[in-house]
Amino acid sequence: MPRYVIEREIPGIQLMAPEELKAASQKSCNVLRELGSDIQWIESFVTEDKLYCVYFSKNEELIREHACRGNFPANRISKLHTVIGPYTAE
């Protein structure tokens, strides 16, 4: 299944309390359960005013549906083609 990075602009997210982040995670997981096995959340990275999420998804439209149902922004969706790291240098 293709992997995507979703950029979500959420002003002040870096200031959210752990309880708020937990509630947002739970909401996301509930929507994912509704959508079925064609989409899977891998992990997310909180930066200043943005959230970068990594998902497996059958297609980009399913990611947009998740964002719509969960009332999450999806400002940019990029399909990953290759992953590199220190291990690819050898």
> Would 88 be classed as within a structural domain?
no
Residue numbers of the domain that contains 28 = 3-83
Q: What pLDDT is attached to residue 24? A: 95
E strands, 10-75, are 39-47, 50-57
pTM of the model: 0.92
Distance CA 77, CA 68 (A): 14
Total domains, the chain? 1
Whole-angstrom Cα Rg for the chain = 14
Q: What pLDDT is attached to residue 90? A: 87
CATH number for the domain including 50?
3.30.70.3090
Tens-digit pLDDT string for the chain (90 aa): 999 999 999 999 999 999 999 999 999 999 999 999 999 999 999 999 999 999 999 999 999 999 999 999 999 999 999 999 999 998
Distance CA 73, CA 66 (A): 10
Count the residues in the chain. Answer: 90
CA dihedral 23, 25, 30, 35 (to 10 degrees): 150
Q: What pLDDT is attached to residue 77? A: 98
